[in-house]
C-alpha cells in the first residue's frame, strides 16, 4: 500500500514538472511555403512583370540595333547565337518562345528559374542561374527585336 502511495506521489510530481514546458512544441519538419500554381499565361509567357500579351509590332531595325548594343553589354558573357555557351543558344529563341516569355526571363530570371518548369529544366541542363542584369523593359523589347531580326535574316547586328 505504501508502495502505491509513493508511486502516485511520483506521478503527480512528474505531471507538475512536465507542466513547465519550454513553450509551444515546434511542429516537426515544417514544409516550405508552397508557391501558388502557375497560371496558363505564366506557363506560356513566363512569370514576371509582364502579365498580358504585348503588342510590340513588327521588327523595327533601329530598335533592333539598340538591342544589339544592350545584348553585347549585358548578355554576351554567357550567350552565343548558334551554339551552346554558358547558357543556351539564342539564334532561334524567338521562334521557340513568345516575346513575353523572353522579356520575363530577362527581367525576372531568379523567379523564372525557381518556379517555372522551363526555367527549372534549363537550370538542370546548364547548372547556373541567369543573372539579373538591370535591363529595363524597354531594353528587353529592343533585345527581342535584335533576336527576331537575327532569326529572320541571319544577320547579326553587332557585327
Partner 1 sequence: MAQQTTIWKITSLLLGLGLLAMIMYGCPSQTGMLDTREAAQKVYVAPGEYDEYYAFFSGGYSGQLSVWGLPSARMFRNIPVFSQDPESGYGYSEETKPLLMTSYGFIPWDDSHHPDFSHTDGMPDGRWIFINGNNTPRVARIDLTTFETVEILELPNTGGNHASTFVTENTEYIIGATRFSIPYEMDKDVSIDSYKENFDGSLSFIAVDPESGEMSMDFQIIMPPYHYDLGRAGKGPSADWAFFTTYNTEQAHTLLEIYASEFDKDYVVAVNWRKAQEYVREGRARTVPAKYYHNLKDKNTGIAVSTVHDEVLLLDPKDAPDMIYFMPTPKSPHGVDIDPTGEYIVAGGKLATVIPVHSFSRMLEAIGNEAFEEVINGIPVLEYEATIIGEVENPGLGPLHTEFDGDGNAYTSVYISSEIVKWSLETFEVTDRIDAYYSIGHLMITGGDTPNPDRKYMVGLTKTARDRFLPTGPKQLHPAQLYDISGDRMELLLDFPTIGEPHYAQAIRADIIKPNVKQIYDLDDNNHPHAVKRPRDARVERDGDVVRVYMTNIRSHFTPDNIEGIRVGDTVYFHLTNIEQDWDMVHGFAIKGANSGEVLIAPGETKTIVWHPQRTGIYPFYCTAFCSALHQEMQGYVRVSAADSNVPLTWRTGDE
Using CB under 8 A, pick the residue from 11, 35, 61, 73 that binds partner 1.
73
* Binding residue (CB under 8 A) for partner 1 from 39, 76, 120, 153: 76
Verify binding: residue 4, partner 1, rule CB under 8 A: no
**Interaction mask 20-59, partner 1, x per CB under 8 A:** x-x-------------------------------------
Residues sharing a CB contact under 8 Å with residue 13, sequence separation 6 or more, in sequence order: none
Of 6-14, 24-32, 59-67, 90-98, which part binds partner 1 (CB under 8 A)? 6-14
Residue 117 neighbours by CB distance under 10 Å: 9
Measured distance CA(77)–CA(94) in Å, rounded? 20
Question: Least distance from C-beta 125 to partner 1, angstroms?
Answer: 13
CB 41 within 8 A of CB 52: yes
Please select the residue that binds partner 1; options are 51, 53, 120, 132, rule is CB under 8 A: 132
User: Distance (Å, rounded) from C-alpha 154 to C-alpha 146?
Assistant: 11
Amino acid at each position: 500500500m505504501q508502495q502505491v502511495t509513493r508511486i502516485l506521489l511520483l506521478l503527480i510530481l512528474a505531471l507538475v514538472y512536465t507542466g513547465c514546458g519550454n513553450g509551444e512544441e515546434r511542429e516537426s519538419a515544417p514544409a516550405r511555403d508552397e508557391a501558388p500554381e502557375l497560371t496558363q499565361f505564366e506557363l506560356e509567357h513566363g512569370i514576371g512583370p509582364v502579365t498580358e500579351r504585348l503588342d510590340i509590332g513588327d521588327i523595327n531595325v533601329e530598335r533592333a540595333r539598340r538591342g544589339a548594343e544592350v545584348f553585347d553589354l549585358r548578355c554576351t558573357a554567357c550567350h552565343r547565337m548558334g551554339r551552346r555557351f554558358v547558357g543556351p543558344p539564342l539564334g532561334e529563341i524567338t521562334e521557340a518562345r513568345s516575346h513575353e516569355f523572353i522579356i520575363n526571363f530577362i527581367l525576372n530570371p531568379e523567379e523564372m528559374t525557381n518556379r517555372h518548369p522551363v526555367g527549372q529544366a534549363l537550370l538542370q541542363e546548364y547548372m547556373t542561374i541567369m543573372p539579373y542584369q538591370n535591363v529595363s523593359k524597354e531594353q528587353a523589347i529592343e533585345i527581342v527585336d535584335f533576336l527576331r531580326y537575327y532569326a529572320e535574316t541571319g544577320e547579326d547586328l553587332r557585327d
